[in-house]
Amino acid sequence: METKNTLVMDAQILDAHGLRKGSLLIENDKIIEVSSSISPAGVDKVINAQGKLLIPGLVNTHTHLSMTLFRGVADDLKLEKWLNDYIWPLEAHLNGEYCYAGALLGCVEMIKSGTTTFNDMYFYMDHVAEAVKEAGLRAVISHGMIDFDDEEKRKAEIKESKRIIKKCHGGADGRIRVALGPHSPYTCSRELLEEVRGLADEHGLLIHIHVAETEDEVRQVKEKYGLGPFAYLDDIGFLGEDVIAAHAVWLSSSEIHILRSRGVKLSHNPTSNMKLASGVSPVEELLECGVCVSLGTDGPASNNNLDMIEEMKIAALLQKIKSMDPTSLGAEKVFEMATINGAAALGMVDEIGTIEVGKKADLALINTRKCNLAPWRHPVSHLVYAASGCDVETVLCDGEILMENGKLKSLDEKYVIELAESAAEELTSKA
């Protein structure tokens, strides 16, 4: 492969290590130098970052990307009604082409708001992988498995997951990894969960699952198994450092101890939890106990966007209201949740999440010369509390420039929107 160099010059660099001024040199997919001054001589591409804020590409640790097609279709409803009466009937008519169109739209939205890596659970995941490949993003994908104690359904779900592993794992030059995606303890049988655990151990894969999202879920699991969701999963030997659990709203103190002792990673989804009135996860307590908590948007049908910068602000504000303490979950902590904690949750802490030599060149450049960011004083505070995804100007993933000065380079935005609009119209007409 021919060597390709990109230089990002004169940026304010912000990551979990703090704020500093400098430049960085990228060779192919990796950062090879970060210093106060780097000569542009012989460099293929120079990005002038003067007056800009350079951050690691944001990491969205829980979403259902193709649900962009369901955006706004069923709002202001309780989770059970939302799922049973609207979402699941629509999903019965999904196909690979629809999921590709929805995923492509989601990729555009994430690039434009600074997300470079995401953790996705849904259906027709080989078609989602194709969208990821074309967009240039980094993703962990999993087929969402539900069996409701049906043995034939369980066999089919495992078969599909194995197909996706074989077809997609390591795709797009390593940017795509496959995880296992049992939906939740109340929609998956013990047999399915135990088989997933075995497959994860056999193939060295992550497990992506919804747990303890609502009080009703906790009630159902307790009625069936006599334990709370996390206690039940621990009892059957399911939990481990390779498990990333979304939501984790309704937790007992003993379950928090289980999470810490087993090394389980959590994805906090504040906007979705608020919109569906699921509750407020005890994020501050979890972090203080040493649990790795990252940040996710959930799907575009329950958020209703994929803007991780907005998600940071909502996460911080929600914890302040929960504790009635304005010092709870400060800007620095929530920024770490969206970057280095997300990298840790996905097993990529040595590759992404901070801006340092040897890591992948997954970066987002924020235009600080915007009215909503003036006067420019405290970068991390402004990023979390004043910025939005619309302030992202340039994005790189794996060293490739996906958007420059607000213009997408990897995808045709107009075409993607038209494709998604057509798919959504066809899908809703069928349902």
What are the backbone dihedrals phi and psi of residue 408, each rounded to the nearest 5 degrees, phi first?
-65, 140
Q: How many other C-beta atoms can be found within 10 angstroms of the C-beta atom of residue 76?
A: 8
Residue 298 annotated in ligand binding: yes
Q: How many other C-beta atoms can be found within 10 angstroms of the C-beta atom of residue 241?
A: 13
Residue 412 annotated in ligand binding: no
Residue 210 annotated in ligand binding: yes
Residue 143 annotated in ligand binding: no
What dihedral do alpha carbons 256, 257, 263, 267 form, nearest 10°?
0
CB 416 within 8 A of CB 105: yes
CA 73 to chain CA centroid, nearest Å = 22
Residue 160 annotated in ligand binding: no
Q: Nearest 5°: CA angle at 93, between 89 and 99?
A: 115
Residue 29 annotated in ligand binding: no
Residue 382 annotated in ligand binding: no
CB 104 within 8 A of CB 77: no
Residue 312 makes CB contacts below 8 A (sequence gap 6+) with 295, 331, 334, 335, 337, 338, 383, 384
Give the whole-angstrom CA distance, residue 3 versus residue 426.
Answer: 45
In 183-304, DSSP assigns E strands to 207-211, 243-247, 265-268, 293-295
The binding site consists of 62, 64, 91, 183, 210, 213, 298
The binding site for substrate consists of 91, 183, 213, 298
The binding site for Zn(2+) consists of 62, 64, 210, 298
